[in-house]
Amino acid sequence: MLSRVANHIYWLGRYLERAENYARFIDVNFNLMQDLPVDLKEQWQPLVAATGDWDLFISKNQKFEKNEVLYFLAFDLENPNSMLSAISRARENARIIRENLSKETWEKTNQLYMMMQEGADKKIWKKVDPRPFFEKVKNQILLIYGIADSSVARVEGWYFRQLGQFLERADKTSRILDVKYHILLPSGQDVGTPLDFLHWMALLKSVTGFNTYRRVYGNIDPSNVVEFLVLNKYFPRSIYYCLKEAESCLHHISGNRDGGFINPAEKAAGELRSHLEFAEVKEIIDYGLHEYLDNLQIKMNKLSDLIDSTYFRLRDNFISQNQDQ
């Protein structure tokens, strides 16, 4: 597969995952708001914090009001990570490599983009209840996944998209956990109040993990939540699970059947995965969750860079030609 094409597919996977996560974050937060006691102000700051675009938001807005936050997260093209930005770029990536996508995948991605544009035209962020819109967008993305799942050949392109998707997901899970945990921690040792409960529930729902968590652990307990979201072996949004899948994608791409590593990207992915595989939640808490997650994010960014240098970087054909002659 062309390196350039692989690069676009990888980013297509990342951007779609990013947009889907944002759609869910917004939905969950909106639900949470409705359950908060009347004397508590709506809390939209944590959502902005979770996306890592706090500084940009502050530079553009004075207050964390619903309309401003929704606009910023969903429709603001000046925010490079807003849903509209992510979906525009997903669509742009898809358009560039359209010949490598199935007709349906392209058409649904194109529709997704038009859907977002329409939402922007209708100023959805001003709606009293914008949830149906975000639900629709989320479902459209899930539809794209579904089509891919049942129609895309499991060859290189598939694994590059998966690779992008899982790395993005690992990143998003770590961020939302980091922020929410931070806010909750002061009272977190004792999850007794209904308010605490609502917040923890919202966190788990943000990663569609609430019901699964319940089945596995029962009661809400901060360290259990951390274990679930960072180390769980089976939950498809835990950081460990995402990294395990990413490593497996890399092996499929290179054809490495013997384990270990045959390129720097595989080495980095394998090290990261095994680190989590043998970690205990107590170690994480003792180390400091924030520091731990920060560290993970740095390593995941490094992994992304190594994937880039291993597979995507192009040689300058002009320089090569001049050396030739």
Q: Which residues bind another protein (CB under 8 A)?
A: 1-6, 92, 95-100, 103, 106-107, 110-111, 114, 156, 253, 311, 314-315, 317-318, 320-322, 324
C-alpha closest to that of 17 among 188, 237, 244: 237
Number of Cβ atoms within 10 Å of the Cβ of 239: 27
CB of 4 to another protein, least distance (A): 5
Amino acid at 145: Y
Nearer to another protein, 62 or 321 (CB): 321
The DSSP 8-state label assigned to residue 192 in this structure reads: T
C-alpha closest to that of 49 among 66, 64, 68: 64
Give the Cα separation of 136 and 257 in Å (integer): 40
CB of 317 to another protein, least distance (A): 4
CB of 323 to another protein, least distance (A): 10
Nearer to another protein, 38 or 314 (CB): 314
CB of 266 to another protein, least distance (A): 13
CB of 14 to another protein, least distance (A): 17
Give the Cα separation of 313 and 48 in Å (integer): 33
Nearer to another protein, 196 or 308 (CB): 308
CA dihedral 235, 241, 246, 250 (to 10 degrees): -120
- Return the SS3 of 125: helix
Nearer to another protein, 28 or 306 (CB): 306
What does the block give as tokens for 157? 């392109």
Nearer to another protein, 231 or 253 (CB): 253
C-alpha closest to that of 254 among 271, 269, 233: 269
104: which residues sit within 8 A by CB, 6+ positions away? Answer: 147, 151
Nearer to another protein, 184 or 250 (CB): 250
CB of 262 to another protein, least distance (A): 12
